[in-house]
Amino acid sequence: MVRVVQKFGGTSVGDPDRIRTVADHVARCQRRGMQVILVVSAMGKETDDLLRMASAVSKIRPGREMDMLITAGERKACALLCMALADLGVDAQSFTGSQAGFMTDSNHENAKILDIVPTRVEEALAAGVVPVVAGSQGVSGDRDVTFLGRGGSDTTAVALAQVLNAEMCELYTDVSGVFSADPRVVPAAQRMATITFDELLEMTATGCPKPAMRSVEVAHNYGVPLHVRSAFTWEPGTLVVRDYTEAPTKKLSAEEASMERPIIRAVTHDLSESKVTVIDVPDRPGVSAQLFRALARAEVNVDMIVQNVSEEGMTDISFTVPSEQVELTRQVLEGGVLSEIGAERVSTDGSIGRVSVVGAGMKSNPGVAATMFETLAANEINIEMISTSAIRISCVVDASRAEEAVQYLHTAFGLDG
């Protein structure tokens, strides 16, 4: 019997009709001989509603109480899905994070899974009962309810698939898979039949919104095959595998199966960051360390870092941070760090966009960077910063040109469908 973990996101269970549709899908899977374990998020916008309610009663939000509040959403969705399954003659049992054996740390609102002891889930499976597990929650060593954070249901599903030795973890969502670019920006963007973990990780880190990066990391670490697919069309989506030799041949498109696989798989973009430049920094050892240690202490989430070539013993250091952390960054720097390192001043730019091309094939194709820069230059898009990894190149450009840049690059790398 094939054992599969199926995770359904908030919009997939957003109203009673959707819940009955999901139950119908699960009943069909079971009739086809699959052993299904469900993981469910809170219905629709319920988590947002609960957060709004919390703001309405208090300016203070104790983490323990926020988690008690928010986790109520997934519990309700699980119970309702079990009822809908019962209505179709499918035996099902809901489990809270605690009941499903998710032990976490006490870091409320963003807890990490320490261990999973899914005794009750396994008992249910042995009895032919479909376990329906509340996503994104667990219990701490203090026996308090914990929440794994937004998007944590994906992590719950992947971790459960690993510990239960499931053959597949299916993430059902409101997108039909992973695309070569955001289809709202590039109408010719194509859904990929397969993608590797390495590539998907670079994509999620540079703007691809689903699945949640954390779940891809967990799946990658434990080698759990992922299937990102739609809970609305039910058609096959994107299979995420360790490398292309692992992908079942029938899942690969003609191009993907050939040795001449496209070098670049996807073009991603991200408009959520701002650029910070520290101007006229003395170019001596230890200066960068001082700068970024101070930012790390203030929990500023620094992303790309670029240091210009030194001129007359002075240099500029630029980096990107989430736009909501620009003020914090400025406070940290102007509150002492600048004078400590002897730098002149700070400038910030909130209107930047980061455009990235991702593909494992670029490792053996040295021309990728050149193609990217030429494409942008030919369209008079100025590059402000560059950073690279083994399978990704990112350029920071003006925010107003970022979506155009994605379109030009998608065409230039032969990705248009």
- Residues that contact a second copy, how many (by CB under 8 A): 41
User: What binding mask, one character per residue, do residues 102-121 give for a second copy by CB under 8 A, x or -?
Assistant: ------------------x-
Contacts of 211 (CB under 8 A, 6+ apart): 154, 171, 173, 200, 204, 226, 228
Q: Which is nearer to a second copy, 28 or 345 (CB)?
A: 28
- Told to check if 140 binds a second copy by CB under 8 A, we report no
Q: State which of residues 2, 48, 58, 289 lies at the interface with a second copy (CB under 8 A).
A: 58
Shortest spacing between CB 227 and a second copy, in angstroms: 26
**Residue 21 vs 389, nearer CB to a second copy:** 21
Q: Closest CB to a second copy among 72 and 298?
A: 72
Q: How far is the CB of 220 from a second copy (least distance, A)?
A: 33
- In angstroms and rounded to an integer, the radius of gyration of the C-alpha atoms of the chain is 23
Alpha carbons within 13 A on the beta-carbon side of 131: 29
Return the number of the residue (93 or 206) whose C-beta is nearest a second copy: 93
Residue closer to a second copy by CB (options 82, 195) is 82
What is the bridge-based pairing of β-strands 194-196 and 238-241? parallel
Task: Choose the binding region for a second copy from 89-97, 246-254, 276-284, 325-333 (rule: CB under 8 A).
Answer: 89-97
CB of 97 to a second copy, least distance (A): 13
Tokens coding 22:
């999901």
> Any contact of residue 156 with a second copy (CB under 8 A)?
no
| Residue 297: how many other CB atoms lie within 10 Å | 9
Residue 126 in the binding site for a second copy (CB under 8 A): no
Residue whose CB is less far from a second copy, 49 or 311:
49
* In the complex, least distance from residue 32 CB atom to a second copy, rounded to whole angstroms: 23
Among residues 145 and 412, whose Cβ is nearest to a second copy? 145
- Residue whose tokens read 């402000």: 384
Q: Which of 38, 39, 78, 124 binds a second copy (CB under 8 A)?
A: 78
Q: Is 57 in the site for a second copy (CB under 8 A)?
A: yes
Question: What letters, b where the CB count within 10 A reaches 16 and e where it falls short, cover 379-412?
Answer: eebeebbebeeebbbbbbbebebbbbbbbbbbeb
338-367: which residues touch a second copy (CB under 8 A)? none
If one asks whether residue 94 binds a second copy (CB under 8 A), the answer comes out as: yes
Task: Tell me how far apart the alpha carbons of residues 376 and 244 are, in angstroms, rounded to a whole number.
Answer: 30
Burial class of residue 121, CB neighbours in 10 A (0-12, 13-18, 19+)? buried
**Binding string, 4-43, against a second copy, x = CB under 8 A?**
------------x--xx--x--------------------
Question: Of 6 and 94, which has the nearer Cβ to a second copy?
Answer: 94
Q: Is 226 a residue that touches a second copy (CB under 8 A)?
A: no
Q: Is 302 in the site for a second copy (CB under 8 A)?
A: no
- Closer Cβ to a second copy, 119 or 258, answer by number: 119
| CA–CA gap between residue 189 and residue 179 (Å, rounded) | 6
Residue number, 79 or 386, with CB nearest to a second copy: 79
Q: Is 84 in the site for a second copy (CB under 8 A)?
A: yes
**Closest residue by Cα to residue 157 from 146, 144, 145, 166:** 166
Count of beta carbons in the 10 Å neighbourhood of residue 136: 30
Residues that bind a second copy (CB under 8 A): 16, 19-20, 23, 50, 53-54, 56-62, 64-66, 68-69, 71-73, 75-76, 78-84, 86-87, 92-94, 96, 99, 120, 143, 145
